[in-house]
Structure 1
């Protein structure tokens, strides 16, 4: 905390609308399928903010949002979650959207169409009222946009280490320019991604080898999410990864599970929990979220505490002990 004030979470990039559909399977090229259960809600960076806000953390959306129906949906959902917005609606268009197709086994596939959130349009990140201890989140969507990504990277590099930066490169990790990666990697205080993203970024999904192929700060927290197994945690460059297991659940929809994990992880670390305990809490939140249909299904703090209380306790194991 800075001067007694608790840390706040800011996101400066992608909050867009999720158009969600349940599908029996993905259509083949040139084909079609009949979807069901269609819904529209705020998505992208909103899911991280909502997950952290439900844990009691103050959250601020400092990105752009549009003047059409998608922007209106985003503002309504932010207001419902108590997430503050910094900017007024943009005058040059609507927010973007993401088509989310969810198959019967809970796996999801995305197609994204950026909107006003992808452009700077005169914004100055330096004007944000950050204070020591605050945390900024950036996703791979933010960093891959041609205008937004370099601006975020340069801003990150200029800020003092008292401001935390959490990076989740997400599915677009391979689209982030090398010049942007070279700036954000050393500045990140927390880097979290899944095995597929690690493979795309570093050429390996090995939890020990992947961070060695990156340019992270020696004191950065590295988290490699491994689905139902849990997450590997590396707290410093000279330590071995630790596997923090996840509670066993039946998945119905994996949409937003990584966002839930990131948001709860940020809130847990900001509350003073150590890395392994914070990741265990994030694992439980992500596990609970996949038992619910929809994008922003992170539990609130009370529901998460109840779930952790009844979940089977699993021992923490070193990566070398895992087959």
Structure 2
């Protein structure tokens, strides 16, 4: 991947889980007994994927993701050691979560997730880092669901005023408490979402362009809406428009959105404008979509 010389400090908040990737002809219907081909078992999770891609791009960062105690945690711990990832949170009250990812012929993926300690955030976990030093902070909607959301947002109140929070909405965005969602969609937040997530964030908007305007009016920060192989749409204070995607033979879409976030952060922190950063992010996402499984 093309490198980006980022000169800003980035904190990635989220999860590392175990991905079990299964290729299927079609998703099973209720009561059906379907078969699939096991593709691989690997460490994944949005924050983990963002971290791995940022490392590949040369983007310095810290990954704040809990590692528990148990079978899945041991696999994740070994993976962190293999890739030289610092273990910032070690928690012995439970194991990490895991998921089965069903990959259809189109490359589209559907997840069944069994959550672990990554959904049980504690205020004390933030004692490991100084939130105030970071210029960019990534957080996924997965971690903001349920009781963890208020814990994370309380910790983020310590970030410096000119920092940017990249909110990666996630497919679980509609399960996030509405008051908490209103709190995070405020000035200083860069919203990153796909079309389905866009509909949850701006339900009254009748187009991608109108949704971006609605969200930008709340955050006064860049809004980036990914559109699969069509690329993405962005809106910032000076510019807006569609940025075409890169042509690629899709293996699967696992981690493509995470890679897009990583590319966006790296390019923005290197001084690129939003349009240029979106173009770079499209290229990074295409590379990940062209291979099997996450980062």
Is TM (by shorter chain) over 0.5? yes
Report the CA distance shift for 1:97/1:186 in structure 2 as closer, same or farther (over 3 A). Answer: same
Partner of 2:88: 86
Partner of 1:279: 278
Q: Secondary structure at the match of 1:136?
A: strand
1:103-114 equivalent positions in 2, closer than 5 A: 103-114=104-115
User: How large is the Cα RMSD of the aligned pairs?
Assistant: 2.1
Give per-residue Cα distances to partners, 1:58-115, cap 9 Å, x unaligned.
2322221111222122233333443322122x21111011211001110100111110
Give per-residue Cα distances to partners, 1:258-282, cap 9 Å, x unaligned.
0111111111111222211111111
Partner of 2:165: 165
User: Are the equivalent residues in 2 in contact too, given 1:49–1:83 (CA < 8 A)?
Assistant: no
CA distance in 1, matches of 2:248, 2:78: 31
Give per-residue Cα distances to partners, 1:15-61, cap 9 Å, x unaligned.
21111111111000121211113422121121111111111112322
Give per-residue Cα distances to partners, 1:234-258, cap 9 Å, x unaligned.
012xx66311111112212111110
Q: CA deviation at 1:122?
A: 5.0
Number of paired residues? 287
Report the CA distance shift for 1:257/1:196 in structure 2 as closer, same or farther (over 3 A). Answer: same
Q: Secondary structure at the match of 1:10?
A: strand
TM-score by length of 1: 0.82
1:1-323 equivalent positions in 2, closer than 5 A: 6-44=7-45, 45-88=47-90, 90-121=91-122, 123-125=124-126, 128-144=129-145, 146-203=146-203, 204=205, 206-214=207-215, 216-218=218-220, 220-236=221-237, 241-296=240-295
CA distance in 2, matches of 1:129, 1:192: 24
Report the CA distance shift for 1:130/1:201 in structure 2 as closer, same or farther (over 3 A). Answer: closer
User: Are the equivalent residues in 1 in contact too, given 2:122–2:148 (CA < 8 A)?
Assistant: no
